[in-house]
Structure 1
Amino acid sequence: MSGTPGRARARSLGVVVGALPPGPLNAITDVDGVLVGHTTIDDGADLHTGVTAVVPRQLVTGRWELPAAVHTANGYGKLVGSTQVDELGVIESPVVLTATLSAFLAADAVLTYLMRRRPDALSFNPLVGETNDGFLSDIRRRPITERHVLDALEGASGGLPAEGCVGAGTGTTALGFKAGIGTASRRQVVGGLPVTVGALVQANFGGVLTVLGTPMPVEDLLPGVVRAEPPGNSCMIVVATDAPLDSRRLGRLARRAVFAMGRVGASYSHGSGDYAIAFSTAPPERPLLPDAVLDPLFAAVMDVVEEALLDSVFTATTTTGVHGRTSHAFPYDRITRT
């Protein structure tokens, strides 16, 4: 099931980003072999947090590396394992997202997961990102346990991922509204080859929500509501594709993924740790696509991240958390009036 009951994705509201067709699920799981799992912690009071895992099936079925790249737009954050991805151009673990102060425990839990699958290996590089959900969740309690991380990893599936207030997006806020997890996909022909690109985002950053070029500030849409603009805002973007690309070309995709934040009104502030991780599931024997034909793929990445970010807001519900702070859901009726 996608999203929260009663909440809608962008497309069901008539908000269609670009002209390219989505995949069957309009999700990162449309990319061959990509699975997503969530663990959500929500006590209805002070804890609103969780774990989201993006699991390439190839990494747990005998292929121990996939081409990958990380783009750090603003490094005010913790992306455990990123330097080895930069150095070697591969990922060797699923991508796990969680809250800032739980990132290090989550990395240790990913080690447990990897060691069980590779009993003879002596080194691993877990890849764990985070955003700060301390505005709505008592982040200093660090409620994430190894079991929560393993449940997200082991429960990952290829269906339509839940969006909004779920997993690592349970306590996040973006663009003045309650946000969370969002996902989308596109199909495109690149260099004569049909390819799919998908994105999953953990949205927790500042700015003024912009929908298809129209600013929609919370002050105008919800008169009397104080903008929820917590410190430590960030955005984690995971891009997956079945296009045959090496690390350098995937780095070009990752950069454009962060550019797409500007389309939805991101402020790219001092305290916003904005990262994109891109990887390819294409079989290693497939010839690489040359740079000269990548423009359609770049367009697809920009569109898919923009839509995933909008979904992260549209599917989230009003949440009251620690210290009585409230982050309000986006009001759908203003879409139809605009």
Structure 2
Amino acid sequence: MAGRRVRQAGLHLPGEPGPHNAITDVPGVEVGAVTLIEGSGPLRTGHGPVRTGVTAVLPRGRAGVGHPCAAGMAVLNGNGEMTGAAFVEEVGLLDLPIMLTNSHAVGACHRGVVDWVSAHVPQRAQRWMLPVVAETYDGFLNDINGDHVTPAVAAAAMDAARGGPVAEGSVGGGTGMNCYGYTGGTGTSSRQVPFGADRYTLGVLVQANFGARRELVVAGHPVGRRLTDDDLFAASAAVQPAGAGSVIVVVATDAPLLPGQCKALARRVPLGLARTGTSGSHFSGDLFLALSTAEQHVSGSQYPQPGDERLEQMSLVPWRHLDRFFEACAGGGGGRAQRAVRQRRDGRPRRPPGARTAGGAGAGDGAHRPVAGRCACPGGEVRASQYPLGVSTSMNSGSGSVPPRVTLSRLT
């Protein structure tokens, strides 16, 4: 079933996807990615091999930075980091790009957002900035302590943000990730949600780096226990326990929701992930952010100005009608994680149909360009020669080689 999705294989997934089956089906949402691939062989801190990157999610696109969205977040297991979460919890609003990267590049991406906003939206930079930067751990495949992600790389990801198809798999912040002992990374999908005379879209983007192979469930079938023969991650349990790593999920919808409703939506994400088999390892930071891009005419947390003392209003889908949005979030949630699991041994991200050949959400083959002196492929292709077949289970000890990309048919 190489190259096929669940629906094409005759398996049922609930809901009706949007035109791209991606978070960018939500009007205004843009996604950009920079993928860093360099070197092979034994790990040498500061030199490589490098298998990492940055993914940027701009809820209202580059033109809408500084325009707040209602937002809320939830935590299944707190062994992870999402900067800016305390402020989202306090005011229920978000108006800056969302960045996904590896665990030790959070500071670089945080600085990158500050620099990028200062350059492109200077009026927003006149107030404090608390960017949302979330991480998962790619130290099994990547020189995570080598400082390869810089603020310039983060800025390039924001510059690359576009609507349309989104590249998946070993791309952007998901480049060096694993999921259920297979190549993990970036996955996305969307669902159409009717409400009265309107039709809204709910989209999700996941950075998948979680799950032990033995746990894997596909369409209700516990297939993982039959697929343990080539599980490199279980063999390396002395270095990193199977199931460790984390998962970050961003949920976006154009339905008008209050911050508390966004938080309720975020709490449904792990219900979808659980359908893929995960039990939520202690060593996995499972953090979820949900937001509404509906136009609410609220000014956000700005400094008060003379004469601006007036009431602001937010519209909302009534709580009694939210179940259909919960179903869209949880019902297809497992598919987003499974879309992140890669089939190919060469580690290439899946090029989406109609993808462009320049940087951005839909960038495909030929999208390579240098950033910060390294191979950066925004949404682009990773060549097979960059993944040697020398296998080691002691990557973090500094003596190993980059393992091969193990195979699994694409599931969604």
TM-score by length of 2: 0.74
Q: Is the 8 A contact 1:182 1:308 kept in 2?
A: yes
Q: Is the deviation greater in 163-172 or in 40-49? A: 40-49
Q: What is the CA-CA distance between 1:129 and the residue it aligns to?
A: 0.2
Q: Percent identity?
A: 36
Deviation at 1:314, TM superposition (A): 4.0
For residues 268-306 of structure 1, the C-alpha deviation after alignment (integer angstroms, 9 at most, x for no partner) is 011110011111111115731110001111100113322
Q: 1:284 aligns with which of 296, 300, 306?
A: 296
Question: How far off is 1:93 after superposition?
Answer: 0.8
Give the counterpart of 2:220 among 204, 213, 216. Answer: 213
Give SS of 1:106's match.
helix
Q: Where do residues 110-149 of structure 1 align in structure 2 (5 Å cutoff)? A: 110-120=113-123, 121-149=126-154
More deviation, 241-250/48-57: 48-57
Q: CA deviation at 1:145?
A: 1.2
3-state SS of 2:341 partner? helix
Inter-CA distance 58–160: structure 2 relative to 1 (3 Å threshold): closer
CA 1:151–1:278 in 2, change beyond 3 Å: closer, same or farther?
same
SS of 1:101 mapped into structure 2 = helix
Kindly indicate whether residue 70 of structure 2 is the aligned counterpart of residue 75 of structure 1. no
Rounded to whole Å, the distance in 2 between the matches of 1:64 and 1:252 is: 22
Counterpart residue number, 1:332: 409
Give distance in 2, aligned partners of 1:103 and 1:241: 26
Separation in structure 2 between the aligned mates of residue 43 and residue 75 of structure 1, nearest angstrom: 31
Provide Cα deviations, 1:102-156, integer angstroms capped at 9, x if missing partner. 0111111011112223324231121100000001111010200122111110111
Q: Is the 8 A contact 1:257 1:305 kept in 2?
A: yes
The amino acid across from 2:247 in the alignment is C
- 1:30 alignment partner in structure 2: 25
1:313 aligned residue:
341
Q: More helix by proportion, 1 or 2?
A: 1
Task: Output the CA distance in 2 between the equivalents of 1:63 and 1:76.
Answer: 30
- Cα distance in 1, alignment partners of residues 82 and 245 from structure 2: 14
Distance 1:93 1:199 in 2: 18
Q: Report the Cα distance in structure 2 between the residues aligned to 1:97 and 1:133, rounded to whole angstroms.
A: 12
Q: Helix, strand or coil: the match of 1:148?
A: helix
Aligned to 2:330: 302
Distance 1:304 1:114, change over 3 A: farther
Give the gaps of 5 or more residues in structure 1: 1-5
Q: Is 1:234 the equivalent of 2:239? A: no
**Residue 43 of structure 1: aligned partner:** 38
Name which of 56, 61, 75 aligns with 2:59: 56
Q: Which moved more, 1:246-255 or 1:324-333?
A: 324-333
Whose strand proportion is higher, 1 or 2?
1
Letter in 1 for 2:323: D
Please tell me whether residue 157 in structure 1 is matched to residue 162 in structure 2.
yes
Other-structure match for 1:3: none
Which residue of 4, 21, 37 corresponds with 2:16? 21
1:188-245 CA deviation, whole Å, 9 max, x = no partner?
113553110000000001232211111121x623635444564541000000000100
- 1:223 is matched with 229
Contact 1:41 1:48 in 2 (8 A): yes
With over 3 angstroms needed to count, the CA separation of the structure-2 counterparts of 1:214 and 1:13, relative to structure 1, is same
Gaps of 5+ in 2: 41-48, 298-313, 348-386, 389-394
RMSD value over aligned CA atoms?
2.2
Q: Is 1:164–1:315's contact at 8 Å kept on the other side of the alignment? A: no
Moved more, 231-240 or 308-317: 308-317
Match of 1:106 in 2: 109
2:408 maps to a residue whose letter is P
CA distance in 1, matches of 2:169, 2:11: 17
CA deviation digits over 1:55-105, x for unaligned, max 9?
Answer: 123563365211001111111111111100010101121110000000111
Q: How far 1:307 moved relative to its partner?
A: 1.2
CA distance in 1, matches of 2:280, 2:287: 11
Q: After superposing the two structures, state which structure 1 stretch, 202-211 or 123-132, moved more.
A: 202-211
TM normalised by structure 1 equals 0.90
- Give the distance between the partners of 2:187 and 2:65, measured in 1 at CA: 29
Q: Which secondary structure does the structure 1 equivalent of 2:145 belong to?
A: helix
2:186 maps to 1:181: yes
Classify 1:317/1:65 alpha carbon distance in 2 versus 1 (closer, same or farther; 3 Å): farther
Moved more, 50-59 or 319-328: 319-328
Q: How many residues align?
A: 327
State whether structure 2 residue 176 is matched by structure 1 residue 171: yes
